[in-house]
Amino acid sequence: MLRTADLSVEKINKLLQDADEFSKGKTLKAKGEIYVSNLFFEDSTRTKTSFDVAERKLGLNVVPFDISASSVNKGESLYDTVKTLKSIGLDLCVIRHKKEKFYDEFKGIDIAIINGGDGTGNHPSQNILDLMTIQQEFGKFKGLKVGIVGDVKHSRVANSNAEVLRKLGAKVYFSGPEQWFDEGTIINGTYLSIDDLVKEVDVVMLLRIQHERHDSDEKLKLSSDKYHRQFGLTTEREKAMKKDAIIMHPAPINRGVEIADELVECKRSRIFKQMENGVFARMAILKTALEAKGFEFE
């Protein structure tokens, strides 16, 4: 599972259905021994922990892998690390890495790979948990209006969600500092000011400023407070949202920057629901990836 947009609509729907069943209490355990590891070359709280929990719920053997104490620090390449883990007996690796499409390197290695986030590229498990959260709320994607707000250019969540949401028939709107948009980012999307966007959409999806990906000329010269007032979801803007519209955010959240502190846990917020759904979405993804390699669950 490398890019959600490469999956057919049927396959996306099957993942959503499996995730929904897991969320309603369905249990499945791996038949026989399956060994998996989570390799996170970039920081993570939610994605790494929820893959870990999802793996344990499915009865998989989780082999700890600490990048900071591995031979990566002795100059071992990503290819050699994965080839080594395959030789030792691992069946699946979840990998997060700053290099876009890092997974292209592993074509010759017979191991299941799940993309835990590749640079500014894709974040498939976030896509599935976000789709799941939207579907729980609205029961459909066709005709739904989703506004993605903030550092769109540097966010793998924004880019991969926009692609898959459009594929499923939703209309995607963007907002945020214009310096973080280029033609490529908003293909088939519509740019609106934040004040117009909040009135228009069913979902306001906020993004953290991706400081770690900014070149010196991309750094925003605004204080957090000014950013919040110009581009953020303030308490006033929340009041202008449609009656049943919801707030989403992949987190980590910078309270008071892209979203007002008080709104993080407000009635419209589905932010912690997204995290809850993340475990079930990842169970569905793990099951699908392992079944494709011939493993079975009962």
Residue 117 structure tokens: 């986030």
For ligand NCD, the binding residue among 7, 95, 146, 251 (CB under 6 A) is 251
172 near ligand NCD (CB under 6 A): no
Q: How far is the CB of 143 from ligand NCD (least distance, A)?
A: 27
Taking alpha carbons only, the member of 80, 84, 100, 40 closest to residue 64 is: 40
Q: How far is the CB of 72 from ligand NCD (least distance, A)?
A: 19
Residue 178 DSSP label: G
Which range in 56-64, 180-188, 235-243, 250-258 contacts ligand NCD by CB under 6 A?
A: 250-258
Residues 48-107 that bind ligand NCD (CB under 6 A): none
How do strand 246-248 and strand 190-191 relate by DSSP bridges?
unpaired
| Pick 46 or 101: Cβ nearer ligand NCD | 46
47 near ligand NCD (CB under 6 A): yes
178: alpha, beta or left? (left if phi > 0; alpha if psi -120 to 50): alpha
| Pick 34 or 54: Cβ nearer ligand NCD | 54
271 near ligand NCD (CB under 6 A): no
Give the interface size with ligand NCD as a residue count (CB under 6 A): 11
Taking alpha carbons only, the member of 104, 124, 91 closest to residue 5 is: 124
Give the integer Cα–Cα distance in Å for 71 and 111. Answer: 20
Question: 3-32 mask for ligand NCD (x: CB under 6 A)?
Answer: ------------------------------
Give the integer Cα–Cα distance in Å for 179 and 177. Answer: 5
Give the integer Cα–Cα distance in Å for 44 and 63. Answer: 17
For ligand NCD, the binding residue among 250, 258, 290, 295 (CB under 6 A) is 250
Q: Are 137 and 145 in contact (CB under 8 A)?
A: no
251: alpha, beta or left? (left if phi > 0; alpha if psi -120 to 50): left
252 is in an annotated binding site: yes
* Binding-site residues for carbamoyl phosphate: 46-47, 96, 123, 126, 251-252
Using CB under 6 A, list all residues that contact ligand NCD: 46-47, 117, 123, 126, 156-157, 208, 250-252
